Structure 1
Amino acid sequence: MSWLSLSPVEFQALTLSLWVAMVSVLVSLPFATAVAYILARRRFWGHGLLNALVHLPLVLPPVVTGYLLLMAFGRRGIFGPPLEALGLQLAFTSAGAALAAAVMAFPLIVRAIRLALEAVDPKLEEAASTLGASSVKVFIFVTLPLSLPGILAGAVVGFAKALGEFGATITFVSNIPGETQTIASAIYALLQVPGQEAAVGRMIGFSILLSFGALLLSEVLARRMVRR
């Protein structure tokens, strides 16, 4: 049982990772749904460019994404001073960790939701429109319920991605115990200290357990979407 007992620092890293992952998904989900709907149902000049921009964090080195966030939201960044004037600070804070995780998880959430929206039969939406429903009502009462398993699957995959995010997070918010130190950065820190094999093993074990559970749930939701 001692193998499962977490130290205060390890427990803080675990709970912070869960908080960061949940907040990043909750913040990303409305925007991801809107972007996925635009990509799935609209054709316009710049469609390919928008799609490329959405998926850019998947192919950029995470450190580059973190650096760009630092240049944008750091204390000397483009939006840093205006945010500080409002009493908000993102760099080197847990809120910044959630932002970095959200940016990295966003493409995966958009992709899952887009596939779910494209799987909805357009004839059902057309039938609702012919009965007098507005486009907003069609989306809320027809499109959204039919694509809900895919939206949930995207949220779960995004949660798993945010849970394991490291490169962008450590670049943007550093590795401050109790403030910005997530599971990934805690493992990195523990690896630098001799004799911490047991602690590293515990953190890796919890990380694998949480990530595997999230991916398994995503697969279940994806199967439900296919059946529907």
Structure 2
Amino acid sequence: MEFSWLPVKLSIYVSVVATVITFFIGVFISYWMVRKKVKGKALIETILFLPLVLPPSVIGFILIIVFGSNSVIGQAIQMVTGESIIFTVTAAVIAAIVVALPLMYQSIKTGFQSVDSNIIGAAKVDGAGDMRVLWRIIIPVSSKAIIAGVILSFTRAFGEFGATLMFAGNIPGQTQTIPTAIYLSIESGQTQIAWYYVLISIAFSFMLLFSINRK
């Protein structure tokens, strides 16, 4: 096994796509949970936070069951695309979304809860609709919490290993990310190559987390 930049590029790609998707999901779920009267709120949040405490192998197993060829969703995807998404880059993105969403949701939710309800009430009195209030008032006021959520979600997606290994596999040049490349390097006795990926991962994550703490 030789050192390759492909796992680094794929990790960045997967993390960026997953972060963008989790941002929009997190925004709308947070707005719905904070600003609307939601029945079963505790149950919904418990489900949202499960990926934080479940073993990665359990998450990977569930994803295989949900998106596998024997499931309704998996069969529908195969009918549209002509192939299964298991062991593909799409699978790696989905795994990253699942593990990163709780962090994004919690950060955005915290930001939304800090917005003064009087400001929102005044905007609605002036005729602003829910979506206008969300994008013009709530999100700008919550920007610090949202940025923190984006960075935390990105780093979590960047470091995802267990669910990705099970659901997307570890195919060099196709689905191999930095964590799975480290795993393969150690398995094959290529400790020096593993160190390269470890140092890249640490440096990248350190810079992102440092950008939060310095503000």
TM range (shorter): over 0.9
1:66 correspondence with 2:60: yes
Summarize the alignment of residues 118-133 of structure 1 with structure 2, pairs less than 5 Å apart.
118-133=113-128
Summarize the alignment of residues 73-222 of structure 1 with structure 2, pairs less than 5 Å apart.
73-87=67-81, 89-194=84-189, 196-220=190-214
In 2, Cα distance between equivalents of 1:133 and 1:41: 15
What is the deviation of 1:135? 2.5
In 1, Cα distance between equivalents of 2:36 and 2:128: 19
The answer to which of 49-58 and 39-48 deviates more is 39-48
- 8 Å Cα contact 2:85-2:91 kept in structure 1: yes
Contiguous gaps of at least 5 residues in structure 2: none
Which residue type is aligned with residue 191 of structure 2? E
Q: Find 2:28's aligned residue among 16, 34, 55.
A: 34
What is the deviation of 1:85? 0.6
Contiguous gaps of at least 5 residues in structure 1: 1-6, 224-228
In 2, Cα distance between equivalents of 1:157 and 1:143: 20
- Quote the sequence identity (%): 32
- 8 Å Cα contact 1:154-1:218 kept in structure 2: no
Which residue type is aligned with residue 91 of structure 1? I
Which residue type is aligned with residue 186 of structure 2? L
In 2, Cα distance between equivalents of 1:66 and 1:208: 24
What is the deviation of 1:37? 1.4
In 2, Cα distance between equivalents of 1:29 and 1:134: 21
- 8 Å Cα contact 1:70-1:77 kept in structure 2: no
1:50 correspondence with 2:44: yes
What is the deviation of 1:178? 1.0
- CA-based RMSD of the aligned residues comes to 1.6
What is the deviation of 1:219? 3.1
Which residue type is aligned with residue 23 of structure 2? L
What is the deviation of 1:164? 0.3
Which residue type is aligned with residue 165 of structure 1? E
In 2, Cα distance between equivalents of 1:56 and 1:25: 18
TM-score by length of 2: 0.94
* Equivalenced residues, count: 214
| CA deviations over 1:153-182 (Å, ceiling 9, x no partner) | 211110000000001100111111111111
What is the deviation of 1:214? 1.7
In 2, Cα distance between equivalents of 1:65 and 1:32: 19
TM-score by length of 1: 0.89
- 8 Å Cα contact 1:105-1:158 kept in structure 2: yes
In 1, Cα distance between equivalents of 2:212 and 2:56: 24
